[in-house]
Structure 1
C-alpha cells in the first residue's frame, strides 16, 4: 500500500512530461467540464474492504512507531528541510501532480505531524525573515528582520547593531557542542531563510554593502551586510557547507562572475576569495565551486569546507532545470543535499543541516502554480535522498514551511483531472474556471476584463508552465497567507512535533533531541 513518490516517478518518467502527457490524454472538452462521467483509476476503491484493510495497515504502523519510542536515544544529527511558502494546499496539489490525490510525498509518510503558528510579533501574515528567526532561533521577531529580537524594528540600524538584541540559531548551538553545521538553498545564500542560520540584521534586504547604503542614515561599515557576516562572522565562518545561489553579493560591480554577470558590491571586496584565503590560512581543506561539473570533481571525503554558488541570483526553478540544458551545468536541490550530507557526516559528533526549497515560494508570488508544484516535488525528492543516506535511529529530520500562500484547491474536479487544469464544470457565467486559484497577485490579468466580466481560459493556456493562475485582487506579487503550516518529523524524538504550537518552539524541540544549546537535556 505504501507507494512513495519516487516509485511513482520511476514508473512514469520525468514528472513534468507525465503531467503534460496526462493533459493530452484527457482533453477537457466543454462536455467534460459540464460533468461527463469520471474515470475510476482504482477499481478496488469501490469496495469497503479496500479502505478497511488500508486502515488496518496504517494502524499497525502506528502501533509499531509507538513501541519504538522508548528505544529512541537522542539524535546525533538533525536535518531541517524548509519548503518556503509550502502551504498545506501546496502539499495537496503536489500530491496530485505526481499522479493522484491518494499518493504521498516522501515526507508525508513521516510518522509525526503537527501545525505551527507563523505570525510575526508585528504582523498577522509573516515573511521569510521573522519566521527564520523563529524556527531557527526560537524567538519571534518583527517583519523583515533576521536573527534579532522584537526590540529591533525593520530598518533600525542602531538597535539592529546591538549584540544584546541578537538571537543565536541552532546552527551556533550545534557548533558550540562540537558538531558541524551547513546550509543548502535554491535561493541566494544571503536570502532571508538561509541568513537565519548565521546572520543578525535589521533588514533582510541588506545582502550586500550597496543595499545597506540605499537607506539613508545607515552605515555599511557599522551594519555589516549579510554576505560579509557569512564570510567574516563566527557562525558563518564555521559553516562546513554553504550551497545555493547569490554570487553577485560576494563580488564587486566591476567584476564579472564565471557566467559573465557583474557583482553588486561597491566596496571592492571579493568575498569568495576572502573565504578561500581564510581557509587556506588555517590550513583547512576547502573548495569553492560554481557549476555542477565543479561539484562533481570535488573529493567530498577529503573536503572540510565547501562553498557552492551556482547562480548570480537564485538557482533555476527545478522544472526549468529539467526542461533545459541547465541540468547539465547546475545541480538540483537533491544533488546539493547529497553533497552536503557527505561532507557533514565525517564529523563523529554529528551535525545540523538546513535545506531550503526556496523557489516554491517565488513561483507562488508570480501565481505560476505549476512551477511551484514542480519545485515541491523536487523538495520531496531531496528529503527522500536524505532519508536514504541517514538512519532513523540517529538522525532527526524535520520538514516544515515558514509561511503559507493564498493558493486554494477548489471546485469539484474528478480524480483523474490534472490539478493544474480546469474544473469539470462551468461558473454561473458559463465560463470555465481553474482548479487552482489565488486570493491576489498578477494572475488578476487572467481573471477579469475591465467591464465585461471574467475572461475565458482554455485548457491549452493552463498547460503553459508560465501561466499565471487567476487571482481576485490585482497585485504585482501575490502575498503570503497567514494560516498554520505543517511540520513533519521522523527519527529520534519525532513525537515532540505533534500538536499545534508556536513556530518558535521548533528549534527548542530540535535542540532537545540533538542535546545542544539552551534546551539541551543536561
Structure 2
C-alpha cells in the first residue's frame, strides 16, 4: 500500500526554512535565528527508524559531487524566482548525511564501474570492471569468471522482493549494469564489443546478461536507454528507422525478453509508457533511445517522447509498491555525468534538478517508517563555484556584484562556474571574454584550465543522504562499499551477515 508521507513546507517550521528568502533576502539577525531554530526543530522531530525496511530506493546522481549539489540548489531556487542560496530541494530534506570516500581499488580517481560495484556489492574493485572483485584485471575474462560478486539486487531477489532499475543512461552502462552484470570490461555492452578470445572463455555482453543472467532475467522493471545493444545490426530502430542495432550475433534480445515475459509490457516511447496498465503488468521493460536518453533540457524535443526521471520513478513505485513482499529500486540520474564531461554546466544542473524531482516523488509516495531512501553519487567532477559573486547573482552568469562583472588579471570577466580541465580550455590563444557570450545558454561551455577533449572525474568525497529504516547509520565519513552493508542491514533488520 502506498501512502503519502512527504509534504514540503506545510508546518510553520518547514515554512520558515523553505520560504524565508522568497522575496529576496532581507533577513535580520532575529530572522536568521528563527530559521536555524526551525531547522533544529525539524531535525529533532525525526528520530531514527530502527528495524527492517520493506523497500529500498537507491538514487545515484552520476557525477553529482558537492559543487554540483550546491550549484543545482541555487539554480533550482533561481528558476522559481526565490532565493537560490537558501532554497531547500527534496534531497536536502533527508535526515541523515555522511561523506563517502570514492577511491577505487587501483585509483585515486574512480570511474563509474568500480564505484557502482562498491555500492551494489560491498567490495571495492578496479577501474573499468563491473561486478567482479579486485583480483580481476581489466579485460581478464578468465579471472572475472572466478571472482564474481553477488549484488544487492540478487540478495533482494533471493528474499522474494521485487526489483527494478531506472537510468537516463543506457541500461547497460556502468552504474545500472552493476546491479545485475559481471564483466572485466565495462565497455562490453553488446556482443560485438566482446573480443573473440573472451567469448571463447565464456564472457557474455552486458545486454545479454540483463536478459538471460541470474539477476537480470528476474528484474521486474527496467526503464532507460540503450536499445541498440539489444537489437541486431539487421534490425531498424523503431524510432529512428535509418539506425540499426549493434548486435552482430543476429539476436533480437527485446524479442527474447517478450518471449520470456508474455504477460509483460515492452515500450519504447511516451505513448506506450503512458498506456501501460500497471495493475495488470507483472514486468515492464522500457528502452526509450538507441543510446542514452535525452538530457532533461532536450527531452521536450524528442518527437516520440520519453518520460522524465520523476515519471519513471512514479511508475516504478506504483508497480513495485503493489507487491506484497516489498522491493529494491535503483534510480540513476546518469546524464549529469555526461554534461559535466562536455563542460556544459547548465545541462548538468538541469539533470540534477530532474533527479531531485524524482526524489521528491519517492518521498511523496512512500512512508518513512518502512522505506529506506538513500541518495548519493558515485564520484564527483572537477567542477567549481568561485569568484566571490554577490548573493543572488545568477549561478550561470558572470561573477560580479551590483550588476557589474568582476575582472580577472587579464582584464576580462569570468563565470562563477568553471572546470579545472576539459573542452572549455583555450590552447595557444588568449582567453575569450565570457561577457561576450550568453553564459546561460543551453549549449554554453564553461571555461576550463587544462585542455582535454573531455572533462574528468574528481577524487574528493561525495555525500550520501538517507531517511527511513536504518538511515541513522549514514553518518560520519565512510567507505563507499559500506553503503552496501547499510542497505543490507536495512533489508534484514540487522539480522544479516
TM-score, normalised to structure 1's length? Answer: 0.87
Aligned-partner SS, 2:278: coil
Residue from 402, 420, 433 that aligns with 1:439: 420
1:513 Cα deviation after fit: 0.8
1:40 Cα deviation after fit: 11
Take 2:174 and 2:25, find their aligned partners in 1: how far apart are those partners? 47
Take 1:171 and 1:224, find their aligned partners in 2: how far apart are those partners? 19
Call closer, same or farther: CA 1:474–1:158 in 2, change over 3 Å: same
1:428 is aligned to 2:400: no
Contact map agreement 1:206 1:225 (CA 8 A) in 2: yes
Take 1:427 and 1:174, find their aligned partners in 2: how far apart are those partners? 54
Matched with 1:59 is 40
Structure 1 unaligned runs (5+)? 7-38
Contact map agreement 1:334 1:382 (CA 8 A) in 2: yes
Contact map agreement 1:3 1:104 (CA 8 A) in 2: no
Matched with 2:441 is 464
1:181 is aligned to 2:158: no
Take 1:504 and 1:52, find their aligned partners in 2: how far apart are those partners? 38
Matched with 2:65 is 87
Matched with 1:159 is 143
State the superposition RMSD in angstroms: 2.0
Residue from 163, 176, 193 that aligns with 2:175: 193
Call closer, same or farther: CA 1:486–1:220 in 2, change over 3 Å: farther
1:218 Cα deviation after fit: 2.4
Matched with 1:305 is 283
Contact map agreement 2:7 2:364 (CA 8 A) in 1: no
Contact map agreement 1:40 1:415 (CA 8 A) in 2: no
Matched with 1:251 is 231
Residue from 321, 342, 345 that aligns with 2:318: 342
Matched with 2:403 is none
Q: How many residues are treated as equivalent by the alignment?
A: 469
Matched with 2:81 is none
Residue from 318, 333, 349 that aligns with 1:373: 349
Take 1:81 and 1:294, find their aligned partners in 2: how far apart are those partners? 25
1:296 is aligned to 2:274: yes
Contact map agreement 1:422 1:459 (CA 8 A) in 2: no
Residue from 93, 118, 132 that aligns with 1:109: 93
Matched with 1:139 is 123
Call closer, same or farther: CA 1:132–1:40 in 2, change over 3 Å: closer
Aligned-partner SS, 1:432: coil
Matched with 2:197 is 217
**Richer in helix (by share):** 1
Contact map agreement 1:118 1:131 (CA 8 A) in 2: yes
Contact map agreement 1:129 1:204 (CA 8 A) in 2: yes
Deviations 1:1-23 (Å, cap 9, x if unpaired)? x99599xxxxxxxxxxxxxxxxx
1:460 Cα deviation after fit: 3.7
TM-score, normalised to structure 2's length? Answer: 0.91
Contact map agreement 1:113 1:498 (CA 8 A) in 2: yes
Structure 2 unaligned runs (5+)? 1-5, 11-20, 79-83, 401-405
1:383 is aligned to 2:359: yes
Matched with 1:481 is 458
